[in-house]
Structure 1
Amino acid sequence: MATPPFDRAQGAPSASRGAAPGSATPAGHAPNVTPAMRQYLDAKQQYRDAILFFRMGDFYEMFYEDALVAARALDLTLTSRSKDNQGTSIPMCGVPHHAAEAYLARLVKKGFRVAICDQVEDPKKAKGIVKREIVRVVSPGTLTDAQYLDERAPAFLLSVFMGSPPGTARGSDPVVGVALLDLTTGEFSCAEYAGTAGLQALADEVSVLRPREIVAPIDLDLARVLTDGAAERLPVTRVEPWTFEHESARRTLLDQFRTNGLEGFGLDSHALATSAAGALLHYLRDTQKADLAHVRSVVYKTSADCLLVDAVTLKHLEVVESMEGGREGTLLHELDRTVTAMAGRLLRAWLLRPLVSLDRIHDRLDAVEEFAFRSTDRGKFREVLKSVQDLERLVARAALGNAGPRDLVGLKQSIAVVPRVRLVLDAFEAPLTRSLLSALDELADVRDDIDRTLVDEPGALVRDGGYIRDGLDAELDDLRRISRSGKQVIAELEEREKQRTGISSLKVRYNRVFGYYIEISKSNLHAVPPDYHRKQTIAGGERFITPALKEYEEKVLGADERILEREIELF
């Protein structure tokens, strides 16, 4: 299915500001461009209003107007790449691929959307030009890297749709359907609002929950829906209206939840909420190129679920934010003694939307009272929880394909705490605690699978290698044996050459440019054997290669390269 075009987030710096005429616009149908630039132009057509990070070797390059915008936003050096078919230099800038996440975060925080076009095949094995594809789109609402997020606050996307429910009379007031989804945790809810009071309630909800991004159809007048000016304050992404059509949205939800109906989610009689929820899921699945396996349910919310406190009241009462705009001195600051980031987010949500159901209030108070009086057990529980990382966000990163080896080991270590949690909580009797305990899954299969696959202390990045355990994969074990023995052979070769030539200072060394070589100082060049082939002259002597050294180099380096490839395949 073709990707709908997205408009740049409203409020982001204008991409065209300061652009040089001619040089800033990609010639989408220019006949005289290189194959790589043709790939770039084709990718750019898919996401015309996003900055395109185009992978070329060790860099993500940007061209034309994207280069002008990114150079200003990121303080990059602007250069040029040859000329276009009109003889005008093509603006260009780039960032190292290993540091791309930091640059992405900076652009997103300034309101831009970034489409990442990566190499999807090994350049060494490519026949002709390397195949490249858009692998994800990063926007204010889809940034998932933990180091760029507030660990104790949600990161919601909001979708908005307005229309008339099926069966309503012509001329009836339209209904607004909305959906909220936190991609970093999988939390997903939807609701409907109608009339003046409903629109005010929606405005309050948006002001309180502060979504990172709004998704809306191209033809929707957001100022009519979000009456408090949120459409001017927040990044807005416009998508094709067909994604909000009820049947299309309903099919998206059914496919996501692997179900035959939506009655169990309370959506069977809420067409507008269904449209908003389905369209938001479609947007995220399309831009993240993932099935969002961590989004497993959606909750339809009504005013009966909790007390709706408007943003002004919350601010005056300094519930989560002080009058000066900080956290210190607020009710949340005084109450929050939670150990985990997950609990911190949950407590914040509870304070923003207090319960109204008397039964649920009593259940919660009974559980809190028991924890308050069982100080010894509470202390044990808090100590156990100190070993638990942010499970919600770790699972989300894994589901999106963004988790590294260290993330998965963190997931394993957190899951391993569950039996200890169960042991401590088994002493508690409050109904809410018992209910939560009965639903606790130890996930032993997941824990054991990660433990069997990954070493205990891996690096953070997949590209660094060294994270797959020995004994897991026969091919990887064989390659590692070749690599280790090959390097030993290099050491033995150095000693043998010292004895053969009589040059005690002879060194066998390696660098990425020249590979393995034998280095001889100037004072010993007279003793170089005839089978030494000069490779490079340096200030202190010469570098040589021999047939035997070349043979071992190919074996060792080939094994190292294949080791990383195999680790990535297994990961």
Structure 2
Amino acid sequence: MSKYTPMIEQYLSIKEQAKDAFLFFRLGDFYEMFFDDAILASKELEITLTGREGGATEKIPMCGVPYHSAENYIQRLIEKGYKVAICEQMEEASATKGMVRRDIVRVVTPGTVMEGKVLGDKSNNYMVCVTETDGMLALAACDLSTGELYVTSVPDSKEWLLDEINIYEPSEMLGDGHLLDFVTSRMSPVGRRVVYTSWDKSKDDLVRDQFGEATWARLTEERRRCVSRLISYLNETQKRSLGQLTQISVYEPNHFMILDPFTRRNLELVETVRERSKKGSLLWLLDRTETSMGARLLRRWIDKPLLSSNLIEERLEAVDKLYHQFIFREDVRAQLKEIYDLERLVGRIAFGSANARDLIALKLSLARIPSLRELCAESPSKTLRRIAQTLDSCTDLCALIEEAVADEPPISVRDGGLIKEGYHQRLDELREASVNGKRWIAELEAKERAATGIRSLKIGYNKVFGYYIEVTKSNLASLPEGRYERKQTLANAERYITPELKEKESLILEAEDKMVDLEYTLFSELRSKLNAEIPRLQKLAEQVAEIDVYQSLASVSSERGFVKPELTTGYDFVVEQGRHPVVEAVMKDGGFIANSTVLEEADAHILLITGPNMAGKSTYMRQVALIAIMAQIGCFVPAARAKVPMLDRI
């Protein structure tokens, strides 16, 4: 004989599949937690711990959260480094005899969050996988919310591995145990979840299915294994299509400047040393982006300065033209300002979690693309004109959303009100039936008031009793005999029904139920159509982000009086009247004294800098480093003139 009730037995069997996660077990309108999960969750979430009879001699610890607000509680647990398994009812309780079938539909981890406060608008949320194969170290980094997936590898170099992981600042790391142990011993584990995984050759097919045979063939063996490990983990936890992952971006480490973690920290590239704040960093100074995806791309450029002079010159050419064309630059900014976060909107569409308001945001964004494309096509910049030639305005997708989705839809996709009138004939017919039914209800209320002389008589509705006629007790004597059937007694009133009211109620509710179901079906079909166009939308998001970064660098350069650097393939590094860009920006009196730097192959290879404390030695050295980094990301620099060679490491 079982120790627990069938429902608790079902909970325990499902919990076996998610031993290291909080199991959010759906019971009606709540997600419930039991046993140790409940005890720990009540402390972490500061919610009431109760008990439930479950067949055992003692009450089972239990706590729960409403399903409609569960996202907030899940976010709080994720922020603390936990993971959460979502267990849903897989069938309607009303249509099932016996126990409702339940199953885990998704496991939320720090690296797989798709929305909410955990995701910073201007920062990525990366998951990193690190593996070793035949002496080669591979690293794959994925932001599931934007659909980005990068992979690279080098001969065995654990120091390189630390440098690369620091660039991505992952919220979750997985891969080979010995590599993860090394990384966590050298980095603070706070805020990062670590998962030991092993390679399973049978999972390679997941990568082939996801990205195609051609992409698989281009990957080296160590990169294949690393990506395979990552995709396998995502499939196991997300249990749904990963349609937002459409391409693997392969890069070689020697294409970018090497910046070790100490250099990044001391130069305060993306955050300050003391407060770990963006304000006061190089990123803070250069970020005048108008879109979230532009801000994220700018950070990636700062994290990885280029070593290709051709690519840098392309960037500088666009920045230069925007720098000298103020009106054109402001027109571009005006269009970008109205564009939402395309990358994450597309990610939610692919994930199946986008609601109608997300589609409206997508429509409003796409409506701005034709004007942005026209501006770039007519610009004096070759780089921007090149982008415009391949910029897909996606006007067909914009028109599709415009035709189907209501202008001001609700947040929920299950409550109706999503689809415009005129989009679907059957839906319009059901709406007409519902409207006519409610009009009939209003007319019946007026008629009954006239027949009984009771001015306070009203017809109401609730989910338990349906439609009813409510009469205060002081007016009961005015009701005619035999016409009304008592339904419910209140403290000060009685509620009644009539045969004709009951008949009309069934017609109205049937129409409304069918209407809501049909709207959800139509919305899901629309979302699926957009899902098929994910690669187009992702390419568009990349191009918009690139344009945004160019205007940002141009705006800051113009505002701060920066100049275009002269890139050389030699060794000479010459800066005339250089300034530390951030120190100059934060000084209230604007009193930063410009200085020069001359490092020439034929004369001075090294500068020996001496002076008392507070003389500015470290500021001077950082200034030179930042000028080099700014030049190699394609930005103008704080100087009267700058001749900058290609630096492979700082």
In 1: Cα distance, 2:9 partner to 2:521 partner: 30
The answer to whether 1:183 aligns with 2:177 is: no
In 2: Cα distance, 1:446 partner to 1:475 partner: 23
In 1: Cα distance, 2:348 partner to 2:320 partner: 35
1:236 alignment partner AA = V
In 1: Cα distance, 2:399 partner to 2:228 partner: 35
Structure 1 SS opposite 2:496: strand
| CA deviation after TM superposition for structure 1 residue 271, in Å | 1.5
1:485 alignment partner AA = N
Q: Give the corresponding residue for 2:460.
A: 509
- Going from structure 1 to structure 2, the CA distance change for 1:511 and 1:92 (only over 3 Å counts) comes to same
Q: Give the corresponding residue for 1:287.
A: 237
2:428 alignment partner AA = D
Gaps of 5+ in 1: 1-29, 165-173
**Larger deviation, residues 102-111 vs 535-544:** 535-544
Which of residues 1, 12, 22 in structure 2 aligns to 1:51?
22
Q: Does the CA contact (< 8 Å) of 2:78 and 2:109 recur in 1?
A: yes
| CA deviation after TM superposition for structure 1 residue 249, in Å | 4.7
In 2: Cα distance, 1:389 partner to 1:132 partner: 36
Structure 2 SS opposite 1:262: helix
- Going from structure 1 to structure 2, the CA distance change for 1:509 and 1:205 (only over 3 Å counts) comes to same
| Identical columns (%) | 40
Relative CO higher for 1 or 2, CA cutoff 8 Å, sep ≥ 6? 2
| CA deviation after TM superposition for structure 1 residue 466, in Å | 0.2
1:206 alignment partner AA = I
Q: Give the corresponding residue for 1:26.
A: none
| CA deviation after TM superposition for structure 1 residue 141, in Å | 0.6
In 1: Cα distance, 2:208 partner to 2:268 partner: 41
Describe the superposition over 1:209-266 as per-residue Cα deviations: whole angstroms up to 9, x where unpaired: 210101225x556223555145576211234x2xx23x435322211113345244xx
1:190 alignment partner AA = V
Q: Give the corresponding residue for 2:368.
A: 417
| CA deviation after TM superposition for structure 1 residue 555, in Å | 1.9
In 2: Cα distance, 1:362 partner to 1:56 partner: 60
| CA deviation after TM superposition for structure 1 residue 484, in Å | 0.8
Describe the superposition over 1:531-559 as per-residue Cα deviations: whole angstroms up to 9, x where unpaired: 31222222222221222222222222232
The answer to whether 1:539 aligns with 2:500 is: no
The answer to whether 1:207 aligns with 2:157 is: no
Q: Does the CA contact (< 8 Å) of 1:248 and 1:278 recur in 2?
A: no
| CA deviation after TM superposition for structure 1 residue 566, in Å | 1.6
1:237 alignment partner AA = V
| CA deviation after TM superposition for structure 1 residue 512, in Å | 2.8
- Going from structure 1 to structure 2, the CA distance change for 1:68 and 1:512 (only over 3 Å counts) comes to same
In 2: Cα distance, 1:519 partner to 1:372 partner: 71
In 1: Cα distance, 2:159 partner to 2:189 partner: 14
What RMSD in Å do the two structures reach over aligned CA positions? Answer: 2.0
The answer to whether 1:562 aligns with 2:540 is: no
**Larger deviation, residues 538-547 vs 230-239:** 230-239
Q: Give the corresponding residue for 1:254.
A: 208
Describe the superposition over 1:446-467 as per-residue Cα deviations: whole angstroms up to 9, x where unpaired: 2222222211221222123201
The count of aligned residue pairs is: 521
Q: Does the CA contact (< 8 Å) of 1:256 and 1:291 recur in 2?
A: no
- Going from structure 1 to structure 2, the CA distance change for 1:261 and 1:317 (only over 3 Å counts) comes to closer
What are the residue-to-residue correspondences of 1:11-90 with 2, within 5 Å?
31-84=2-55, 86-90=56-60
Q: Give the corresponding residue for 1:277.
A: 227
In 1: Cα distance, 2:267 partner to 2:104 partner: 46
Q: Give the corresponding residue for 2:267.
A: 317
Q: Does the CA contact (< 8 Å) of 1:487 and 1:556 recur in 2?
A: yes
Q: Give the corresponding residue for 2:603.
A: none
Q: Does the CA contact (< 8 Å) of 2:21 and 2:83 recur in 1?
A: yes
In 1: Cα distance, 2:43 partner to 2:148 partner: 36
Q: Give the corresponding residue for 1:235.
A: 193
In 1: Cα distance, 2:424 partner to 2:96 partner: 26
Q: Does the CA contact (< 8 Å) of 2:79 and 2:191 recur in 1?
A: no
In 1: Cα distance, 2:285 partner to 2:58 partner: 61
**Larger deviation, residues 220-229 vs 93-102:** 220-229
Q: Does the CA contact (< 8 Å) of 2:470 and 2:496 recur in 1?
A: yes
| CA deviation after TM superposition for structure 1 residue 122, in Å | 3.0
In 2: Cα distance, 1:559 partner to 1:127 partner: 26
Structure 1 SS opposite 2:414: helix
Structure 1 SS opposite 2:335: helix
Structure 1 SS opposite 2:418: coil
In 2: Cα distance, 1:526 partner to 1:232 partner: 73
- Going from structure 1 to structure 2, the CA distance change for 1:545 and 1:233 (only over 3 Å counts) comes to closer
2:194 alignment partner AA = V
In 2: Cα distance, 1:238 partner to 1:139 partner: 14
In 2: Cα distance, 1:555 partner to 1:128 partner: 30
1:250 alignment partner AA = D
1:348 alignment partner AA = R
Q: Does the CA contact (< 8 Å) of 2:8 and 2:54 recur in 1?
A: no
| CA deviation after TM superposition for structure 1 residue 100, in Å | 0.8
Q: Does the CA contact (< 8 Å) of 2:180 and 2:194 recur in 1?
A: no
The answer to whether 1:552 aligns with 2:504 is: yes
The answer to whether 1:124 aligns with 2:94 is: yes
- Going from structure 1 to structure 2, the CA distance change for 1:39 and 1:480 (only over 3 Å counts) comes to farther
Describe the superposition over 1:33-92 as per-residue Cα deviations: whole angstroms up to 9, x where unpaired: 4443333223212222111111111111111111111111101111112134x4232111
In 2: Cα distance, 1:45 partner to 1:552 partner: 49
TM-score scaled by length of structure 2: 0.77
Q: Does the CA contact (< 8 Å) of 2:378 and 2:385 recur in 1?
A: no
Q: Give the corresponding residue for 2:392.
A: 441
In 1: Cα distance, 2:416 partner to 2:117 partner: 22
2:125 alignment partner AA = A
Structure 1 SS opposite 2:423: coil
Q: Does the CA contact (< 8 Å) of 2:171 and 2:191 recur in 1?
A: no
Q: Give the corresponding residue for 2:420.
A: 469
Structure 2 SS opposite 1:202: helix
Which of residues 399, 412, 437 in structure 2 aligns to 1:486?
437
TM-score scaled by length of structure 1: 0.87
The answer to whether 1:163 aligns with 2:133 is: yes
1:291 alignment partner AA = S
